[in-house]
Structure 1
Amino acid sequence: MTLVSGPTGGGSIDDFELFYARRALGRLRSRLGRQGLLDLLAEDIGKGEAFLRESAGLSGGSFNVGATVLATRGSTAGEFVAWMDKAFADENVLLAAQPEHYVMAGQPDGAVHIVENIGPHVCSFYLGSWSAEALAWAADAEELLPEAEFPHKKASNLFLADGTVVGRVLIQFGDTDDGFTSSLTVYLPTACPESVLEHHLRHFAVEFRNWIVASTTARA
């Protein structure tokens, strides 16, 4: 279908739909609030936790690994990482990046409580702080990229409220001639279906694209 006439602003019908979908979702999030969303999704969250716990138990500490790579023009890796460090203190910015972000709440110890989809499952878990100690597990990872090319690195475990590790994240950023590259690696239990890993790679693409756009807009 082709839009022949009518709207005078730029964009496709898909662009219009995306704008209205984001606006509607933002309104619902703000009206419900964090606790309202947790109450609404309680049954789904319970099923999602059971899925992650079972997958972690069956996997015995082994993970399947995948990476989403994004190329960005017009800004630097350092600029984006500096923006991201500040953004993680603003739940509204974090929520806006992905339609299936329901809670992104910072904790006193530097962790972030996250409620989002892992594949089709609505899951509640924690992302540990981006500390030097958190990066230690990745020191021998095959996915660790050369420091000279990707000097900005962050890593953390994903864990349930009782400390059960259900995944890992390793994100790396390096400058290019006209911008920077983001290498976004996720580790999920091997017992998870391949489709779960595939959907999280898509999830990464959406959320980091939107965070990168937001960081660029904030500097304009």
Structure 2
Amino acid sequence: MAIVAKIGGRTFPRADVLAWENKRIDAAAKKIGVAPPSVGGVAVRREEFVGIKQALGSEELLRRLTWNARVADRIGVAQASVSGRRRMCVTELFVPGGSAKQFTEWFDAITFTSNQYEMERACPDHFVLRFINGRQQVLETNGGSPFTALFDINYDDVSSIATPVGQQFPYRLDGVAIGSNGKPIGGVRHQFRDTPDGIHARLLVEFPLPMIGRVIRGHRWHLACEFSNWLEAAIAADKG
């Protein structure tokens, strides 16, 4: 699909986001100690890589990334304790086709039914995304971070999110990231609306204020990658 991403005030075609994803497949494979998928188109390599991750299984991926997760958690908890203020990471997508209502309903369904295939194929840096004990467990590399983070997302209590709701966006996906100390370390407020051409998505992640710019800049592309793939999958499912 000819999805257009707006990142850092500039617009990028779908091909640029796919090129970023293709490079991240190699980086993510190295992170978990496996050979990257064979040379081919990004769509083929995406499916091969999610197959590799699923063959290893969640527990093995958690084991392989234990050290990364411990370091990332200590950093995140420490950063969040410094200040309650947040650093915002924003990406916008303009999608030709689909509906905001159908997409958010589809996304809620794959989230709350713990559909790990759809969750983990959307971005190479998604290693484990599954629902456990009422929260979503997430093991992923955030944007430009050298470490892979492990945290929970609470979808029930989103009162700590600092970003106000945009009245022009009637559909939202909100959640709060929880660190190992049980306290919020960030949050997401992803907002969607219909346009004459399809969907306008305003994707926003709140990081702790001290988060370095490298992570923020990288995570803009992470957002463009995962949501472009999710939007394509949702629209395909609706047509199917």
Common fold: TM-score over 0.5: yes
Is 1:18 aligned to 2:39, yes or no?
Answer: no
Aligned-residue offset at 1:178 = 1.6
Q: Note the aligned Cα RMSD (angstroms).
A: 2.0
CA distance in 2, matches of 1:24, 1:174: 33
The answer as to 2:88 corresponding to 1:65 is yes
Q: 1:17 to 1:154 in 2, by over 3 A?
A: closer
% identical aligned pairs: 23
Decide which moves more: 152-161 or 114-123. Answer: 152-161
Larger radius of gyration: 1
- Normalised to the residue count of structure 2, the TM-score between the two structures is 0.77
Cα contact 2:50–2:117 (8 A) shared by 1: no
Aligned structure 1 segments of 4 or more residues deviating by more than 6 angstroms: none
Displacement of 1:49: 1.2
Give the SS at the match of 1:187. strand
Structure 2 residue matching 1:67: 3-state secondary structure? strand
Amino acid at match of 2:68: D
Q: What's the CA shift for 1:137?
A: 4.4
Q: Which ranges of structure 2 fall in alignment gaps of 5 or more residues?
A: 1-14, 23-39
Structure-2 change in CA distance of 1:23 and 1:180 (3 Å): closer
Pairing 1:44–2:63 present: no
Which residue, out of 65, 76, 86, partners 2:109?
86
Report SS of the residue matched to 2:57: helix
Letter in 2 for 1:43: W
Question: Is the CA contact (8 Å cut-off) linking 2:160 and 2:176 kept in structure 1?
Answer: no
In the aligned structure 1, how far is the partner of 2:73 from the partner of 2:65? 12
**Which sections of structure 1, spanning at least 5 residues, go unmatched?**
1-10
Q: What TM-score do the two structures reach when normalised by structure 1? A: 0.83
Q: Which residue in the other structure is 2:80 paired with?
A: 56
Separation (CA, whole Å) in 2 of partners of 1:137 and 1:186: 13
User: How many Å separate the matches in 1 of 2:79 and 2:181?
Assistant: 15
- Would you say 1:215 and 2:234 are equivalent positions? yes
Q: Which amino acid aligns with 1:19?
A: A
Which of 211, 219, 225 is equivalent to 1:200?
A: 219
User: 1: CA distance between counterparts of 2:67 and 2:186?
Assistant: 22
How many aligned positions are there?
Answer: 199
The residue identity in structure 2 corresponding to 1:120 is P
The verdict on how the C-alpha distance between 1:137 and 1:41 changes in structure 2, with shifts beyond 3 A counting, is closer
Q: SS at 1:120's partner residue?
A: coil
